[in-house]
Amino acid sequence: MTMPGLRAALFDLDGTLADTAPDLAYALNCVIEEQGKDPLPYATIRPHVSHGASALIRLGFPELLASSGEFDQCRQRLLAVYRDNIALHTRLFAGMDLLLDWLDGQGLKWGVVTNKPAWLTQPLMEQLGLATRAACIVSGDTTALRKPDPQPMFHACQLMGLAAADCLFIGDAERDIEAGRRAGMKTLVALFGYLGNNDHPEQWQADDMVEQPQQIIDWIVGYNQQRRRS
């Protein structure tokens, strides 16, 4: 008989599992400078990283219409530069390696559910040495719908052979928490991620918020102990 409690942790990629902002900021500023404009400060770019390439181009080129060909050209150029420099400065967040080791040691599965397309997700996970360790990797184009829709979450569960109620999802964006909640998972906000001044995670209805990866261990232990007592 399986003991009650969480059996897997799923992570958003950018801003939760890995600190990808330095390489994405580099790619954006390369495009900006190619267009003859001054680069943006890293602190200005960082809060926008979790929202994808289009959000970064809107930040760097507010004068461009999202439907324009020039916007799409800049976006494609950003993605190309990023792909060529995908793990130049990207690292796991401090303490995340210890968290993954702990999950492995406890026999708990872990995986990634990201809106990043597979042609970027897979090489990044390989560069980080995590591609073969993860129980599942669900990218933004793995399923027909992306977060905040719960479809990618259900697909991750299917790959792991678990129910959504067995899983915890950790993310740094409102769409992460919405997707996890709609799937029926427990959810945590990663406050160490790419939250901006306009984000209000206390309103996202997550089960809790954590300021560092170590707290995720404490949260899982506490939750599982409570479940087993009830």
Provide the pLDDT for residue 97: 98
Q: What residue ranges of the chain have pLDDT lower than 50?
A: 1
Q: How far apart are CA 76 and CA 74, in angstroms?
A: 5
133 and 100 in contact (C-beta within 8 Å)? yes
Q: What global pTM score does this model have?
A: 0.95
Structure tokens at 101: 């080791």
Provide the pLDDT for residue 2: 58
Provide the pLDDT for residue 130: 98
Q: What amino acid positions are annotated as catalytic residues?
A: 12
**How is the beta sheet containing 167-171 ordered, strand by strand?**
136-138, 109-113, 8-11, 167-171, 186-190, 208-210
Provide the pLDDT for residue 141: 98
Tell me the pLDDT tens digit for each residue of 94-111.
Answer: 999 999 999 999 999 999
Provide the pLDDT for residue 4: 74
